[in-house]
Amino acid sequence: MSRRARKPLAKKSERGNKRGVKRSTDKRGSGKPSFGGPDKRPGGKFPPRRPAAEFSAKPMREPRPEPVREEKAAPPPLPTKVQTVVVTADENNMRVDRFLEHRFPGLSFSHIQRIVRKGELRINGKRADSKDRLEEGQSVRIPPLKLDTPKVGGELSEAATKTLEDLRKMILFEDADVMVLNKPAGLAVQGGSGMTKHVDQMLEAMRDAKGQKPRLVHRLDRETSGCLLIAKTRFAASALTGSFRHRSARKIYWALVAGVPKPKQGRISTYLAKEESEEDSIMRVAAHGDEGAAHAVTYYAVVEASAQKLAWVSLKPVTGRTHQLRAHMAHIDHAIVGDPKYFNKENWELPGGIQKRLHLLARRIVIPHPRGGFIDVTAPLPPHMLQSWNLLGLEADRFDPIENAPEE
């Protein structure tokens, strides 16, 4: 392939349309993806692609041995009355929810969200959001808390042992600081109304001798499977959260969509805002300046098509908005197969044998390791997507053109 054909998408001719999509085509009219081949230049956005057999989550260092659970006296009862605490230097720039988890290890995620939502937690006398960041010296008013004091030491219960086994089966990569899980479709990341099992709850089984548990670094939708990054230490949590905030993390998703996008690669740029209803909430395409609207950018590339009715697309989100990929693909009229919220094609029937489940996989994540180097992990196709790939004759080891899409 000529050097000219490998130019980044952002430098090719682009044109907008009423749907907010900037598109790019190969000037030779070949119809082939024009993001270019594997990036061999120094400082490429993604490391060169390795064969599928080699592209596994190999630890960058030897995993830390399982901690020895020592018998220790239970900690004193945690306070359950109104109190005011001052943010320390070590807690500077920490998110409100992480601050509460750090100060009160037994506090559940749902309880944190509840006291914040009700305005019971105040920073310098003002209401706070769980994502707000604290500054050294600020006063935080904490309401009475209902705490589940963590068990320290001793034998794990039968249920906790089973949970730990389930988590171990999901691990794609692990070292002393970081863990990447292959989250199955249908398992929620965090709790919600009527939610009895979720990853955040399961991580309780991995609390260490000090009562600290591994922490979520990002989120996946309940029906989305694939790479879920977990920080095992506070140090790692701070570093990894910073990488997401500064967009140093690169993520690739695979999806099966209705129809074949034309051209076969492009950039979707819109504003998204949450739209609430009595039954559910979705993200709608909004105008700049609308209340709650946030800018969202996604690159897409068609990897392979099936009879012009379905297409395997690779997606690279630049931003990380709620339901971004699902809303964006529906916006360009190529909704993801099996999406109960955004698939709105009338009289459209799935080919025989394909399950009506969300066909979206968090395929690959590349992010700087807190102690140097990179974490680079891929997840396999979940069973329902593997079945669809086999039925449609799609080759899962094909080169993924999205790897060389721009980062902005």
d(CA 305, CA 312): 6
d(CA 283, CA 235): 33
d(CA 390, CA 379): 17
Coil vs helix vs strand at 63? coil
Q: What six digits make up the tokens of 226?
A: 């694939």
Element (H, E) at 167: helix 158-170
Do residues 36 and 299 lie in contact, with contact meaning Cβ atoms separated by under 8 Å? no
Comparing C-alpha atoms, which of 297, 308, 224 is closest to residue 264?
A: 308
Residue 280 annotated among the catalytic residues of the structure: no
Residue type, 352: G
**Residue 352: C-alpha distances to residues 55, 263, 349 (Å):** 32, 27, 9
Element (H, E) at 234: helix 234-245
Spot the catalytic one: 39, 177, 200, 221: 221
- How do the residues of the chain divide into helix, strand and coil, expressed in percent and rounded to 5? 20, 25, 55
**Beta-ladder partners of 15:** 23
Catalytic residues: 221
